[in-house]
Amino acid sequence: MEENIKKVENLIDEATNYGKSTLELLKLKAIDILASGAASVVPLIITILLVASFLLFLNLAIAFWLGDILGKIYYGFFIVGGFYMLVSLIVGVFFRKRIKNALNDSIIRSIFKAEQQNQD
């Protein structure tokens, strides 16, 4: 009888250790997914900031140039602003759903890719 109790106690200890190990493994997998996600986001953010800076200065130059041609500097800014308003309306009306679907697909693919890499 005492042997059975020791076997049950050993079984409970093994199950407890297995549960702790499984929980630790899940934590490590979550950390790995977050780290790989952050590692891929940082270069993207830096690239976006550089492109945004370039576009900002390009737009300022175009606005000043157009303003110089038209005789009043603020005319150039009105034209550049109007251009972006027109582009925003076109994108909002015609391409909003396509952009949303593309972003959703991209996010889902990256999640599945990360999960697949963790399984390997």
- 17-45 exposure pattern, b = at least 16 Cβ within 10 A, e = fewer: eeeeeeeeeeeeeeeeeeeeeeeeeeeee
How confident is the prediction for the chain on average, in pLDDT?
Answer: 87
Across 27-34, average pLDDT: 82
Across 40-46, average pLDDT: 84
**Where does residue 80 rank: exposed (0-12), middle (13-18), buried (19+ CB within 10 A)?**
buried
Location of structure tokens 């891929």: 40
Please choose, from the candidates 66, 93, 100, 68, the residue with its C-alpha nearest in 3D space to the C-alpha of residue 82.
Answer: 66
d(CA 46, CA 48): 5
What is the per-residue pLDDT for 113?
Answer: 75
Please choose, from the candidates 83, 54, 80, 52, the residue with its C-alpha nearest in 3D space to the C-alpha of residue 65.
Answer: 80
Interval 74-105: pLDDT, tens:
999 999 999 999 999 998 888 888 888 888 88
pTM: 0.57
What is the per-residue pLDDT for 44?
Answer: 85
What is the per-residue pLDDT for 9?
Answer: 84
Interval 2-12: pLDDT, tens:
777 888 888 88
